[in-house]
Amino acid sequence: MILRVFLALLVLWSAAWLGVSLVMRHAVTTWFDQRGAEGWQAEFADLATSGYPLRVRTRIDGPALADPDAGTAWSADWIALQTRSLWPGTQDLSFPDTPQRLSHFDRTIALSADNMVASLDLRPRGSLELRHLGLTSEAWRLDGAGGMISQADALRAEMTQGDTPEDYAITLVADGFQPGGDALPDTDALPDRFDSLQLQMRVRFDRPWDRRALDERRPQPRQIQLDRAEAIWGPMLVLTAGRVDVDPDGIPTGSITIKAENWRDMLALAETTGSLSPDGAAAAERVLSLMAGLGGNPDALDVTLGLRAGNIMLGPIPIGPAPRIILR
């Protein structure tokens, strides 16, 4: 009797595993076919399933995607989808240690990362609402035509749905971040790596992230609560926090508090690396000197900027246009 029950359960489990594996294969091929029908380059060399009996692992060899309208492209030696349950909406996506190629029009960069894994958790309903999206990696590096662009010891990025379906908490932490190329100054005043680089914020979108984000349009932010954005690089420190409401045209309204130490060194670095022209650096120094003077310490900034009517305001004085916040 026990043997019969065991065999029956084994048959049922095997049938469920086979069903999930077939669903995954169909979902992958259908998604690539749909992108091709939309005018993308969407192809892969081979598709294989493994992992029985505890998991379903779908490996895609030679994936390549290109959106001609956006001018973007991506390719890798392989990627692997792995379900952590019999619900295929819970997935881990593993990337190879070999370089991935990312292009935007005529510019191509290579991303190399150790043990890079993306995790995806969707609600089991027709709209496939996003509950959690995560990306973790050990040491990673971006290289361009001129050499290393940036690298870090680790990366952690998360987007988690809140109690209200449209609300998401977003976290980004890059441990040991190091800029490269012209962004790394030839000076002993700054260490090679940032002491801290992180972002924590909560965003309310106009609708939840679900399958429509790919089929129709991206959800648009309507309220942004920036709890903390922090960058510490040797003696230079920038802390930012604030709250912004965003209208349907992407125009932000609200306030942002900025605290910065040794801001003149930041301007000098931006000018040295070419991020700011000499005229731009001089204009920025005049504005920032005024801001620092209001706080009583000429080497430190502690100001609140207002965002109103499409402008960035220092008190009643407009100091520049505010960026439009629209996800394409």
Q: Structural domain of residue 21, as residue ranges?
A: 1-105
On whether the CB atoms of residues 113 and 136 are closer than 8 A, the answer is no
Closest-CA residue to 324 (of 268, 228, 244, 206): 244
User: Which of the 8 DSSP states describes residue 98?
Assistant: S
Q: With respect to residue 13, please indicate whether it lies within any of the assigned structural domains.
A: yes
Q: Is residue 91 part of a domain?
A: yes
Asked if residue 260 belongs to a domain, the reply is: no
Task: Report how far residue 219's alpha carbon sits from residue 84's, in angstroms, rounded to the nearest whole number.
Answer: 27
- Of 257, 239, 139, nearest in space to 198 by CA: 239
261-311 pLDDT, tens per residue?
887 877 777 777 666 677 767 777 777 777 776 666 777 888 888 999 888
What local confidence, expressed as pLDDT, does residue 184 receive? 60
Identify whether the C-beta of residue 84 lies closer than 8 Å to the C-beta of residue 92: yes
Q: In a 10 Å sphere around its CB, with 0-12 CB exposed, 13-18 middle and 19+ buried, how is residue 116 labelled? A: buried
Residue 10 lies in a domain: yes
Peptide bond into 53 cis (omega under 30): yes
Question: Bigger pLDDT: 24 or 64?
Answer: 64
Query: Do the domain assignments include residue 61?
Result: yes
Is 135's pLDDT higher than 70? yes
What local confidence, expressed as pLDDT, does residue 56 receive? 84
- Bridge-partner residues for 113, per DSSP? 140
Residue at 226 is within a domain = no
Q: How far apart are CA 131 and CA 91, in angstroms?
A: 12
Q: How high is the mean pLDDT of the chain?
A: 87
CA atoms within 13 A on the CB side of 91: 22
Residue 183: what pLDDT? 55
User: How would residue 79 be classed by pLDDT, with cut points 50, 70 and 90?
Assistant: very high
Q: With bands split at pLDDT 50, 70 and 90, how would you rate the model's confidence at 188? A: low
Nearest-angstrom CA–CA distance, 167 and 154: 27
pLDDT of 57-76, one tens digit each? 899 999 999 988 888 999 99
Q: Which of 140, 138, 91 is nearest to 118 (CA)?
A: 91
92 or 295, which is more confident? 92
Can you list the pairs that 297-301 forms with residues at least 24 positions away whose Cβ atoms lie under 8 Å? Answer: 299/261, 299/262, 299/263, 299/264, 300/259, 300/260, 300/261, 300/262, 300/263, 301/258, 301/259, 301/260, 301/261, 301/263
Total tally of structural domains belonging to the chain: 1
- Say what the pLDDT of residue 314 is: 77
Confidence (pLDDT) at 209? 95
More confident residue, 207 or 260: 207
Is 214 within a domain? Answer: no
- 305 located within any domain: no
Give residue 15's pLDDT. Answer: 76
